[in-house]
Every structure is written in C-alpha cells, then in structure tokens.
Amino acid sequence: MEDTIVAISTAQGVGAISIIRVSGKDAIKIVCKIFSNKNFFNAPSHTIHYGYIMDGNEKIDEVLVSLMRAPKTFTKEDVVEINAHGSIMTTDKILEVLLINGCRLAEPGEFTKRAFLNGRIDLTEAEGIMNLINSKTDISRKIALNQVGGKVSSMIHDLRDDLASIIANIEVNIDYPEYEDIEEMTIDKINSNLSELEDKIDKILKESKNGEILTNGIKTVIVGKPNVGKSSLLNRLIGEEKAIVTDIRGTTRDSVEANLKLDNLILNLIDTAGIRETDDVVESIGVDKSIKLIDQADLILFVVNYNERLSEEDLIILNKLKGKNYITVVNKCDLDKKIDDEKLENVIYISALKDNNIDKIGDRIKQMFNLEKIETTDLTYLTSARSGAILRKVLDSVKEVRKGIKNNYPIDMVEIDLKDIWNLLGEIIGESYDEELLDNLFSRFCVGK
C-alpha cells in the first residue's frame, strides 16, 4: 500500500464541478508535477491553491487544489483534492495525467479502507462511511453519519462496560476469595443483569432492523388474485409520487425488481412480473405464487376488490398473512361495495383509478415499521449486516448463558460464556482483548495483601 491512489470522488456526469482525490505519500509530489502553481509544493497543510492543471504545456483546466498533509486527513496520508470543472472530458483527462505521472486508480472503497487500516476510523465507522456513500435517502444518510461519528461504537461500548463490570466482579470473587466484604456475584444477580442486557440488545436489534429498512429498503410484495388492480396500484405508487423506478432485474440476490421511493422510504419490490401484465390479460400471478412471495417479504400489500365478495382464494391468502406485516388494500372503492370486509384487518380503502387515498399507504407503512419518530430522534442503528449478525450471535449467547444458569452450572462456566459475549461485542467495534478487564477489576475493587 505504498501506492498513491487517485479517483474521481464526485458522481460521474455533468455537474458544475467535479473533485479528483489523490491520497498517498507521493500525492503532493505527483500533483505538483501537473500543477502550474509551484508554490503549492511547500505550502502549509489545509490550504487551497489556484492554478491550471497542465499536460505538458497544454492547459487542461482551471482548478482549485486543496492540500491536506498527513496525518490530519481522511486517510491519515497526504491528500490532495482537485476541484475541476464538471465535464466528463476534462475530469477524465485530469485523471489520465495523474495516472501517467505515478498514481494508481483506487479500487472501490479504497480511501475508506486506508482510513481504517491507518487507524483513522474503526470498523463500525468504516461501515458507516460505506453506508453513507451508498445511502439512498436522506434518513439513511443521517444514520450513516451517526455511525461515522461513533454512536454505534459508544452504544456497544456501553453494553460492553455493563458486562465488564459483571465479569470483573466474578473475577475478583475468584481471584480474591478471602475478601468476604466484596459483593459476591451470585447466579441470581448475574441472571437479572443478563436479562437487562438481553433487553438492551433486543432493542438495538429491533431499531437496527428499522435502520436497515431505512438504509436498504423494505422488501415488499404486492399480492392478490387476478384482476384486483395490482398493476394499477403499482403504477399509481410510481406515478403519484413521481418516484424513480430503477429496473435492476436479475442483479440482486433478493430478486428485487424495482426500488420505489416513497417519501423517505424505499420499497424494494420483489417479483413485479405478474403485476406488470395489463389488467385485461389474466394475470400470471396466481394464489400459489402469492403465497410463495409472502414468505420472502418484509411487507405485503394485499389487494382485494371492493366490488366483490371475498373469494376462497382471497381467504387462503389472508390465512397465509397471519403474523406478517401486511396492509390490506381494498381497491376499486369508486364502485359499489360488495365486499364482506369485517374479516379484514389493517385496511386502507383506495381507488387506484380515481387516485383516492394512495398517499395513506406510505403513512401506514411508516406507522407499521415505527419509522414516524425516526426522523427526529437519535438515529443510532447498526446498519451493517456484519454488526447485526454478531449482535444476533450475542443475543443467542446471552440466552445460552441463562440456560446454563438454569442448569446450575457453576459460576466459572457461566463466566466463560460471559467473556465470549464480551469478546463478540469487541468484534463489532474491532476491539479485542487487552488490559481493559484487569483495569476494571483493580479500579473497582480494593483487594491485595
């Protein structure tokens, strides 16, 4: 990693300006070679310089160059950022001369990787930045920002501290058994402490699920028997909100076929094939297929017809929806009511044709996923799959320990599990065993000859 790397940091396309970022030990030297303003080389850190990017004697672009010397930079290396005019041609040309003069094209995420490897940021922060770069909505950007600021780290730190004090107490009981006036960490006390810990982790995981939803979108499926208006609903959702539908068929493992932006929500629609058929063709998406899709989704929009009684097929689907997150969308409310809707729950009455009440759907989704308050409250969530997976492992371990306690395992076995959990939590924030536990032990307890 001695290379000096370069990348165009702004989105490709025509904007007013674009930024080319260079990082590495030769960053300043290399840029100086192609920059008309030679004062730049010895200039103090964190200054901006005006001049031309040159290809030999040819002026490529008039630019502002930011000079940031190590270590107070994003990568902790020397970093230079060139603010050029936004045309693709000039930007690419600048990139090209930098490459010719000794830079290497950065791999995706390499700046962040360097920041991590050079100890500028920890793992959760690195993940936060990756999320920030990839964030699709304003809220997910906020969550990512919080992760960058170390909020997740501090939350995990708190959990870990709780645990460390239990462990330290057990350790001190074991290593200093003759100290009778030190509180004995009994199985009962551990149990009640653990149940608190379990609640806290549970809460973080639940909130993280929401965070995940905000960052990654809600896996959504629209089901219903043929001809109830699924495709009209889809078109309304798209059209009404002027959302961008990106067709990324076959590119994701979850078979997400469209990302639909609804206020601050992203709906990842899975399997739209059946819906996109026109209304007058018998839709290919039948009851069997609906049932299959229900299991894959975080959210189900179940569409029924206001103008018909619930059919056998409707009832089969309804039965399948028990215990799931679903909204019953009663369509065609512009027609006469024939539906026996007393069996239905979580109902929204709409008319896709007349464009009635479509906006209620977004509100209801926010309610269901408890996302209403999120815009204003602290956005501390574990948005990475890695952290989530470890935390779920932690939760399992906590349950395991409590089972061990129930089976009368002696305290030294129980403590082995507690240490595992403590280490797992350390993994989330990229911290491993050090003197921490011992420090805790000796700062909290007065022991010794």
Partner 1 sequence: MNYEVIVVGGGHAGCEAALATARMGHKTLLVTGNINNIADMPCNPSIGGSAKGIVVREIDALGGEMGNNADKSLLQIKMLNTAKGPAVRSLRAQADKIIYPKNMINTLNNTDNLDIKEALVKDVITSNNKVNGVLLENGEEINSKIVILTTGTYMNADIMIGDTRHREGPHGERPSNYLSDNLAKKGFKIKRLKTGTPPRIDKDSIDFSKAKKEDGDKVFHTFSFDNDPMYDIDKQVPCFLIYTNDETHKIIRDNLNKSSMYGGLLDIKGVGPRYCPSIEDKIVRFSDKERHQLFLEPESLYYDDIYLQGFSTSMPYDVQEKMVHSLSGLENAKILKYAYAIEYDAIVPTQLKFNLETKLIENLFTAGQINGTSGYEEAACQGLMAGINASLKLEGKDPFILRRDEAYIGVLIDDLITKGIRDPYRLLTSRAEYRLLLRTDNADLRLREYGHKFGLVNKEKYDKFLKKKNDIEKASLEFKEKRLTPKNNDYLESLGTKPLKDGVSLYDLLRRPEINVEDLTKFLDNEYDVDVLEQVSISSKYEGYIKKALREAEKLKHLENKKIPNDIDYDAMHNLASEAKQKLKEVRPNTIGQAMRISGVNPADISILTMYMKWG
* Closest CB to partner 1 among residues 153, 268: 153
Shortest reach from residue 74's CB to partner 1, in Å = 15
Lay out the site mask for partner 1 across 108-137 (x = CB under 8 A, - = otherwise). Answer: ------x-xxxx------------------
Q: Total number of residues binding partner 1 (CB under 8 A)?
A: 42
Q: Which is nearer to partner 1, 82 or 441 (CB)?
A: 441
Q: Regarding beta strands 218-223 and 79-85, do their DSSP bridges make them parallel or antiparallel, or are they unpaired?
A: unpaired
Instruction: Write down the least CB distance from residue 439 to partner 1, Å.
Output: 8
* DSSP β-ladder status, 265-270 and 218-223: parallel
Q: Which of residues 387-416 bind partner 1 (CB under 8 A)?
A: 407-413, 416
Picking from 220, 217, 235, 219, the residue whose alpha carbon sits closest to that of residue 331 is 235
Signed CA dihedral, 284, 361, 385, 76: sign only: positive
List binders of partner 1 among 52-81 (CB under 8 A): none
Residues between 135 and 194 that touch partner 1 (CB under 8 A): 167, 171, 173-181
Which one of 254-262, 295-303, 345-353, 433-441 is the stretch in contact with partner 1 (CB under 8 A)?
433-441
* Cα 218 to Cα 210: distance, rounded to the nearest angstrom: 9
> Please, what is the minimum distance in Å from the beta carbon of residue 99 to partner 1?
21
- Residue 432 as a binder of partner 1 (CB under 8 A): the answer is yes
Single out the residue of 368, 318, 313 nearest to residue 343, CA to CA: 318
Cα–Cα distances (Å) from 219 to 46, 241, 254, 301, 353, in that order, read 44, 18, 8, 11, 25
Least separation in angstroms between CB 115 and partner 1? 10
- In the bound complex, what is the minimum distance in angstroms from residue 123's beta carbon to partner 1? 8
What's the closest the beta carbon of residue 182 comes to partner 1, in angstroms?
Answer: 9
Identity of the amino acid at 392: R
- The reply on whether position 302 binds partner 1 by CB under 8 A is no
Query: How do strand 246-247 and strand 256-262 relate by DSSP bridges?
Result: antiparallel
Residue with tokens 């219903």: 224
- Determine if 430 is a binding residue for partner 1 (CB under 8 A): yes
Residue 430: CB minimum distance to partner 1, A: 5
How many beta carbons lie within 10 A of that of residue 414, not counting itself?
21
* Listed residue (320, 282, 254, 281) closest to 328, CA to CA: 320
Alpha carbon distance 356, 119 (integer Å) = 54
Of residues 174 and 385, the one with the C-beta less far from partner 1: 174
The one-letter amino acid code at 375 reads E
Closer CB to partner 1, 80 or 126, in the complex: 126
Contact 395/202 with Cβ under 8 angstroms?
Answer: yes
Q: How far apart are the first and last CA of the chain?
A: 51
CB of 158 to partner 1, least distance (A): 21
Task: Please report, as ranges, the residues that interact with partner 1 according to CB under 8 A.
Answer: 1-2, 25, 114, 116-119, 167, 171, 173-181, 407-413, 416, 419, 430-435, 437-438, 441-442, 446-449
